[in-house]
Amino acid sequence: MIAYLCPECGEPARRTSLGDQHLDGTPLCPIMGAGGYEPARAVATDSPEGQQTRADLLDAFGADAALDVLRDGKPEQDVLGGALDRTGVYGLDHGEVAPAIDEAFRRHLDTYRARP
């Protein structure tokens, strides 16, 4: 279980004495603060914000996959498999996130197809 997330990119994060970091040691993604851009603060995965970050991330995976199918004509199974492969970076469990990505994929596919 990943304890913390970067609220901007959804990657796993950790809290250190030098500030919050992605797991590769880079500062968290910048956000606009009172004095300009500053690194985001890590959010707990089980907090409402962390849950929202995760949900947004899965939604983005579904949207990307839908665009790949519509724009590039790639087979559904390929893009969904590719999306699942990329979730590894985010410390996500394939079996756990597959239904959410699939749902987001179909929702975005319908939305994109409905556009004139």
Residue type, 32: M
* Residue 8 beta carbon to Zn ion: minimum distance, rounded to whole angstroms: 5
CA dist 100 and 95 (Å) reads 10
- Tell me which residue has tokens 């004139």: 116
CA dist 90 and 42 (Å) reads 14
Considering only 2, 8, 67, 106, the residue that binds Zn ion (CB under 5 A) is: 8
Give the range of 2-10, 43-51, 94-102, 108-116 binding Zn ion by CB under 5 A.
2-10
Residue 55 belongs to what H/E stretch? Answer: helix 48-72
Residue 76 binds Zn ion (CB under 5 A) = no
Considering only 4, 5, 6, 58, the residue that binds Zn ion (CB under 5 A) is: 6
For 18, the 3-state DSSP assignment is: coil
CB closer to Zn ion out of 6 and 92:
6
CB closer to Zn ion out of 9 and 44:
9
CB closer to Zn ion out of 9 and 67:
9
What per-residue string of b and e applies to 59-70 under the rule 16 or more CB within 10 Å gives b? bbbbbbbbebbe
Interface positions with Zn ion (CB under 5 A): 6, 8-9, 29
